[in-house]
Amino acid sequence: MRRYLVPLALAAIGASLGSCSGNQPQTTVDANAPATLTVDNQAFPDMDIYVLAEGQRVRLGQVTGHQQAKLTIPNTLLRGTATLRFVADPIGGTHAPVSQQIIVNPGDEVVLRIPPT
């Protein structure tokens, strides 16, 4: 299932779930299927991307400015009902905005858009 994190007006990044259509057929997803985070960095600075879960901060990777990258969310963070937040830490910057919470399941595809600054 694809879920979108879209920018909020007051933050460099933000989160809001886009709901999937209820008319789509339900499919069974393997509990070991990797969840992915596609980052659309529309800003100039390169970003280190982290996931926050259960008090842990785990680095997922780096996304160059004005580029997209697909990162894998570790399955160890997806046990039970995984409520995650994502951090985009600009390299050389002082402010690392944090997304709202989102529930992520194995096999989900999350999209994080970082708007231009």
**Residues 85-114: tens digit of each pLDDT:** 999 999 988 888 899 999 999 999 999 999
Residue 28: C-alpha distances to residues 3, 20, 33, 87 (Å)? 17, 16, 11, 30
Its pTM stands at 0.76
2-18+34-114 topology per CATH:
Immunoglobulin-like (2.60.40)
For the segment 61-82, what is each residue's pLDDT rounded down to a tens digit? Answer: 999 999 999 999 999 998 877 7
Task: Name every residue whose Cβ is closer than 8 Å to that of residue 14 and which is 6 or more positions away in sequence.
Answer: 5, 6, 7, 8, 97, 99, 100
CA dist 8 and 44 (Å) reads 18
Tokens 């046990």 -> residue = 79
SS3 75: helix
| Domain residue ranges of the chain, discontinuous segments joined by + | 2-18+34-114
Number of H helices, E strands in the chain: 0, 8
